[in-house]
Structures are given as C-alpha cells and as structure tokens.
Structure 1
C-alpha cells in the first residue's frame, strides 16, 4: 500500500492505554479511525477528539459483524485492523482455574482471531494491514503470568500462519511486542487468580501480584511514543513481521532468542541423530 495514502483504521479497545493513544496518533497523522469501547458514555467523549467509536465486545460474534458493517457504512471500507483489546492475568498455573485460563484466551486470543476473520474478506479485496498487539510475553514465559503469556504465544503463532496465508492478497500482518509502558495494564487491566497458594509465598511467581502493583505508574515506556511508532511503521508501506517496543522488550526478546539458540546448538548432535537409518530398521 502507498505510504502516502490516507488509511482507514479499525482499532479494538480504545478506552484507555495503547488503544486510546493509538487512536489519537492515527487522527494526528491525518487518517480516519473507528474504535471500540465497552462503555457507551465514552463514545461522545471520544467524538470530541474526532475519534469515532462504537460499543463492541470482541467476544460477541454478532457485535463484531456489526462493527464491520459500521466501518463500511462510515468509511466505505478498511485498510488497517488493530487487535488491541485484551487484559492481563496473574497467578501461578497451579492456582489458576481452567475457567480463568479460558477467559484470558477468549479475549486475548479468540477475540483477536474473531475480529481478524471478520475483516479479512474486505482486506482481500484491496490489501491492507492487520496489527496484532502482542507483548514481549509472547516470546518470554514469566512465572506468575502463565495465562497471559499463553494467550500471547498463541496470538504470535496464529499471526505467523496468517501472514503466510494473506501475503498473496497484499495483506501484511504486523505483530507488536511492547515491554513495560505506563498504561493501565498493571492496574485496571490486570486481573488476578481468585486463589493464591501458600506454597509459592516468597517465590518470584508468588510475588508477581505485589510486584505489579508496586510497578504500576513507574513503567519506563511512553505509550504516546509507542502509538506514533506503530502508525509510522504501518504507514511506511513495508511493515516488518514483528515490532518490539521499549528497550526492555528489545533486550528481553534478544536474550530469549540467544538462549533458544544455545540450547539447540548444545544438543544438536542428539537432535539430528533421530533420523531413520537408511535401512529403515
């Protein structure tokens, strides 16, 4: 897509945080946007900033279909779809209930897939970009954050496959991997397991909830700068597959990749020695 062309954006979850700042950055860049919120009172509030919004739940298939219709009605189509809606969940795997795990996956993973699938037919007609807001936790598993990490690992996997499937149609898939930014993620958007197990008291995983609460409001990343970075990359016309945001994300992801490479190299002989013998015996 031409880098200078005005784009029509659909962004889920623009009430606060990354979504809100991204919607603002889109408008400042001269593009148009339709975002989703859960609170009807925010529609008028956002309109005052020239940001169009509708009430939509990414877990409601009928509501998502209505979102596609609203985008077509207001802007005549879509160029960029951003899957931003989601929430954090802390708690050890042993303590989390399966219902709590499913709830995180339903919004962070299935919600993003649901929205993407709904818009793909329109994007196939004219090309465009799907942006998945993942996390450095889509590469790195953090003790006490397993449910959230699982949802982002899954999102990255489906995004890689989707990028291959949609490339022939001129559709890019950009996976954004933020580190720690000063948003509501560690506050309002963070949920915790209903129970905590005494066995994990004093361990890193067991103390995650308290550490997140103390860290809230002290994160190093600026969400305004992150939003403008996303707009810049999308509007470049040649977005990468992945965009890490924040020095912590860059360092953490590279460290994880180095660790994976070291493990593979250290056990290469054992790994490759599993081929069938020529005789097949």
Structure 2
C-alpha cells in the first residue's frame, strides 16, 4: 500500500505537534510545517521519543509565496497529497475600543486567510487522490466570547467558509471536516502574549470585565480541567481514518455541550446569559 501523505500546518507546539506525532504513529508520512523551523526543537524531541519520523518544513500561512513553495516541494518529493490539516493559528485578546482595525486585520490574516490560502493551494491535489481536508476551528468559531471579538470573527469566518465548501468539495470526492476543540492545555494561551497590566490600563472602563474574564479563562485552561493536546490529536487521527468523516466534530463532551447550547439558542438569549457571567 502507498503510504498516505499528510500536510499539517502549525506544528511547533500544541495540537499541531501532537497531531503530527499521532498521525505518524498511525502510518501517515507527515509533512509537519511551521512558520519558523528554528522552533522545531519540541517536535524533533517528540518524534525521537515516539520513534517516528516527520518531515519538517517551513510554511508561513500568511505568505502566499511560502505556501506555494512548500506545497510544490511536497509534490515534487512525494508526488501526491492525501490529507491536509489546517491547524496554524494565533490567539488574540482585546476589545475594539482598545485596538486598531489593523490589529483585527492581522488576526484575520493568520486565522482565516491563512486557512483560505492553504486550502486553495492543496484542494486540487486532494481532488486527485480523494484526499481529506480538516480544519481546526474552535468552539470560539460557534460561540462569540468576551474580549475575543477579532479571534471569534476569524473562526466564525473559517466555519462559514468550510461549511459552504463542504458540499461543493464532496462532489469531487474530497471530504471536509471542521474540528472544534474547547479549552486545551497548550502553549496557545501563553503565546497570545498579553501584557495584563498594560491591557487593563488600555481598556479603561472595561477593566473590571476583563479582570473577571481573565480569571475565568485561567480556570478553564488549567491543566486539571482542560483537554490535553494528545487527546485532541487522537480525535483528529481517528477522523482521518474514519470511513465517513462528519462535516463538524467537537473534541470533547464539554465542547459538544458548549456548541450545542448555541445551536439550540435561536434568539441568542441563552448564550448571552452564559457568557455575560464571565465578565462579572
């Protein structure tokens, strides 16, 4: 049998790293990409520990030339592409009075347009192999959350893009799935890089609400409560191996309950009641 070729973006830490290792264990030839391969130390170490090989390459999802170069090199070496996981992304905290429109655009570039760019570049190749397209979204792509306006906007855009693409791609034999994790104990939150005192000063009258939100978020992402990257990776690899992958998949019971609350909330009152408690 031909070893399936899997391209994963954003593999330097967290879900991307764990998924690259889990997929390699499951028999995929994994092309693990990241914006800066100088940060590949954790992935190299994990691969050695797991006794698997991964092909680590540079891919900056916000740079069209980087996307084209990486995908072209993969095809030149392997001749095919059987699955793609859009995982690269960046967290962001803020509220619109305290940031610029360019700040919001930057969040959209990495979290939405990066997904669009990789999808456009790889979809013709997936069409040739009947390959799969998986995009890591978030429960924040379904439920708008306080101080996550730009981030949720980007993830909402990803969800709409993929939901609309799914039936179209299916006509040419490419299953598309959106994966929605909830709180995951990864470096993702730390990588948001928030200077809390400076942010509290900048948000002015929103300071008390931000303090309440940050306290709630710290509790939700505590390792004793949050899902682990390895647990999410297991769900993703099972999805890759599934004969009939779903269009949308949550990675935990908590995520299913959270998303379900929104999907059953026709007038928005239940969600607003829930998230308003995070800022008081």
**TMscore range, shorter length:** 0.7 to 0.9
Distance 1:40 1:233 in 2: 27
More helix by share: 2
Please name the residue that 1:172 is paired with. 175
Q: If the length of structure 2 is used for normalisation, what is the TM-score?
A: 0.85
2:183, 2:221 within 8 Å by CA — same for their partners in 1?
A: no
Larger Rg: 1
Please name the residue that 1:208 is paired with. 213
Please name the residue that 1:275 is paired with. none
Q: State how 1:117-196 maps to structure 2 within 5 Å.
A: 117-189=120-192, 191=194, 195=199, 196=202
Please name the residue that 2:258 is paired with. 252
1:27, 1:33 within 8 Å by CA — same for their partners in 2?
A: yes
Alpha-carbon distance, 1:149 to partner: 0.5
Is the partner of 1:169 in helix, strand or coil? coil
1:114-146 Cα offsets, whole Å, 9 max, x none, are: 000001111122211111100001110001111
- Is residue 237 from structure 1 mapped to residue 271 from structure 2 by the alignment? no
- Is residue 35 from structure 1 mapped to residue 32 from structure 2 by the alignment? yes
**Deviation >6 Å, runs of 4+:** none
Instruction: Give the 3 Å change call, closer, same or farther, for CA 176–57 of structure 1 in structure 2.
Output: same
Tell which deviates more after alignment, 48-57 or 59-68: 48-57
Distance 1:73 1:159 in 2: 28
Distance 1:80 1:261 in 2: 38
Is the partner of 2:175 in helix, strand or coil? strand
- Is residue 115 from structure 1 mapped to residue 118 from structure 2 by the alignment? yes
Please name the residue that 2:278 is paired with. none
Please name the residue that 1:105 is paired with. 108
Please name the residue that 1:10 is paired with. 7
Q: If the length of structure 1 is used for normalisation, what is the TM-score?
A: 0.85
Is the partner of 2:171 in helix, strand or coil? helix
Pick the aligned partner of 1:222 from 211, 217, 228.
228
Instruction: Give the 3 Å change call, closer, same or farther, for CA 20–53 of structure 1 in structure 2.
Output: same
Distance 1:7 1:212 in 2: 38
Instruction: Give the 3 Å change call, closer, same or farther, for CA 215–254 of structure 1 in structure 2.
Output: closer
